[in-house]
Amino acid sequence: MTALLRQVELWRTNGLLGQLVRFAISGGIATLLYAAVYSPLAGFAITSEQVANICGYLVAVVSGYVLHSTWSFRGHGAAATQTSWRFFLVSLVSYAMNAFWVWLLTDDAILAGPWWWPLIPVLFVTPLVTFALNRVWVFG
């Protein structure tokens, strides 16, 4: 337990804990916006799950860049000219991951599950990967 408390204190002093909390909030907002776009499109079969994924991605990437660049990673070190193209590349990684989840888990794909199955890894796996990439490479 003492080692865990020391680690949390180290994260607090080097700014990682604050960034992680801000990323969780702003990333959560972007992810909820993704889900708000994806869910009705896929759930009501307005379009295919993959097209719904693209629509959700477009909303999430714009809102995510604004939130992360102005709040989550503010003052972390990288200039805006450097972060914008890197953020876009990381957003393509997140899009590819989410497209993979949709392909793997939905009814037109491998596991033939319902439209909402991809939301589970979209909410819990993709954000961890994008946090690491944003912290180290985009805004680092």
Model pLDDT, residue 58: 96
pLDDT in tens, the chain (140 residues): 677 667 667 656 666 777 788 888 988 899 899 999 999 999 999 999 999 999 999 999 999 888 887 887 766 555 556 778 888 899 999 999 999 999 999 977 789 999 999 999 998 999 889 888 988 888 77
pTM of the model: 0.79
Model pLDDT, residue 136: 86
Is residue 128 within 8 Å of 64, Cβ to Cβ?
A: no
Model pLDDT, residue 65: 85
Model pLDDT, residue 7: 66
